[in-house]
Amino acid sequence: MDGHDLLSALAGTADFEAAGDAPRSGPPARARRIPPDLSGCITHVIAGSRKMPVLKAMTTTACERDCFYCPFRAGRSAMKRVRFTPDELASGFMALYRAGAVEGMFLSSGVVRGGVTTQDAILDTGAILRRKYGFRGYLHLKLMPGVERDQVREAMRLATRVSINLEAPNATRLARIAPGKQFEQELLTPLRWVEELRRDPDAGLRASSTTELVVGAAGESDLELLSITDHLFRQLRLARVYYSAFRPVPETPLADLPATDPLRELRLYQASFLLRDYGFELEDLPFTGQGDLPLHVDPKRAWADQILVHQPVEINRASRAELLRVPGIGPQSADRILKARVEGRLRTLADLRHIGIRAVQRVAPYVLLDGRRPVEQPRLF
């Protein structure tokens, strides 16, 4: 199978799994040497400081599971069904790789003849890429519901990243959208195995791990979603939790349920980054009485409007952790401020601009500069 054949067969099947490193914001940038109508099979993953084009593929789009929201659910006639052998997938990917169209692969599957059998097909594809073709680049392998521990171990030997979709924040919510799946045994336990194997010094396994949650289909609150997110970050060291705003699909039991506002998905991503990268605790997040995040403002600013407006941060004395709580200051900006303070005091917003802090108007309401509230001078042009 050549690359064009593989992409043609995959067209229209790759839109339902989050595999990149950014919230969904439209179609991915066009991959090199790929016709526009087929480029939807390619997403982009952040690798270091650059975006890397990655093929999104499935061993099969057939599935014996009957998840209520899923376009691949059993018996749905509108879904395009394809199936590839491991050799076909590996050879098609290598054709794209040699042509410079992609640099990595994300491989998932519908479940056919059980999770163990389906997992074997995914592992066989990864093994052919690594051992037959000598591919050493980015490889993200999905773990199937019901996967065995030894299969998880092999996936971690082959892959750069592994993942399994929890879909819902707990067993009660999962039963509303995927009643045939077992939250603890089939979905959460494999993620625990990944972390156990990663911590085993004799295993030598370093693959990162992620998961994906469906937003809005099970009636869950943002607090429920971010509670499991916080647990996964702190206890299982997941690299990322993806959120997928529910979109109704014809010929599914949830076809009449309204779509989830994409803004809710964005707020969840923003909040998850606060938990993962900015030192926020779950209790810091500005939940409403119903356990949801406000949609009209990003959660960092909502927290700052409650706290920092009355207790501003002194830029010249604040720790890095305190600086990261200020809207408009991220990890790089915080490091610039710490470095600049060694050479002298920062007294004006112009001083912040000079060291590369771009969002000074966002910063200004929440900080002190040399003991004073900063004053933003209006610009002539």
What are the pLDDT digits (tens) for 274-297?
999 999 999 999 999 999 999 999
Candidates 59, 61, 82, 63; CA nearest to 73 is 63
Confidence of residue 82 (pLDDT cuts 50, 70, 90): confident
- Domain 307-368, CATH class in plain words: mainly alpha
Task: Report the C-alpha gap between 120 and 122 in whole angstroms.
Answer: 5
Contact between residue 162 and residue 108 where contact means Cβ atoms under 8 Å apart: no
| Predicted local confidence at residue 22, as pLDDT | 53
Rounded (5°) CA angle 256-261-264: 135
pLDDT at 35 > cutoff 60: no
Helix, strand and coil in the chain, % to nearest 5 = 40, 15, 45
Average confidence (pLDDT) over 140-145? 97
Confidence of residue 326 (pLDDT cuts 50, 70, 90): very high
| Predicted local confidence at residue 15, as pLDDT | 66
Lowest mean pLDDT among 111-120, 216-225, 372-381: 372-381
Average confidence (pLDDT) over 158-182? 97
Confidence of residue 246 (pLDDT cuts 50, 70, 90): very high
| Predicted local confidence at residue 6, as pLDDT | 84
Superfamily of segment(s) 3-284: Aldolase class I (3.20.20.70)
Confidence of residue 27 (pLDDT cuts 50, 70, 90): very low
Q: Which of 24-28, 57-61, 73-77, 319-323 has the highest average model confidence (pLDDT)?
A: 319-323
Domains in the chain: boundaries:
3-284, 307-368
pLDDT at 340 > cutoff 60: yes
Average confidence (pLDDT) over 173-186? 96
Q: And the tokens for 180?
A: 């045939």
- The DSSP 8-state label assigned to residue 107 in this structure reads E
Q: What is the mean pLDDT of the chain?
A: 91
**Biggest distance spanned by C-alpha atoms of the chain:** 69
Rounded (5°) CA angle 183-185-187: 50
- Pick the more confident residue, 255 or 32: 255
- Pick the more confident residue, 17 or 273: 273
pLDDT at 238 > cutoff 70: yes
Average confidence (pLDDT) over 140-167? 97
Confidence of residue 30 (pLDDT cuts 50, 70, 90): very low
| Predicted local confidence at residue 42, as pLDDT | 85
Taken as a whole, the chain contains a residue count of: 381
| Predicted local confidence at residue 376, as pLDDT | 61
Confidence of residue 379 (pLDDT cuts 50, 70, 90): low
- The DSSP 8-state label assigned to residue 188 in this structure reads I
Candidates 230, 227, 186, 236; CA nearest to 209 is 236
Confidence of residue 44 (pLDDT cuts 50, 70, 90): confident
Lowest mean pLDDT among 6-20, 86-100, 102-116, 354-368: 6-20
| Predicted local confidence at residue 37, as pLDDT | 53
Confidence of residue 19 (pLDDT cuts 50, 70, 90): low
Q: What percent of the chain has pLDDT over 70?
A: 90
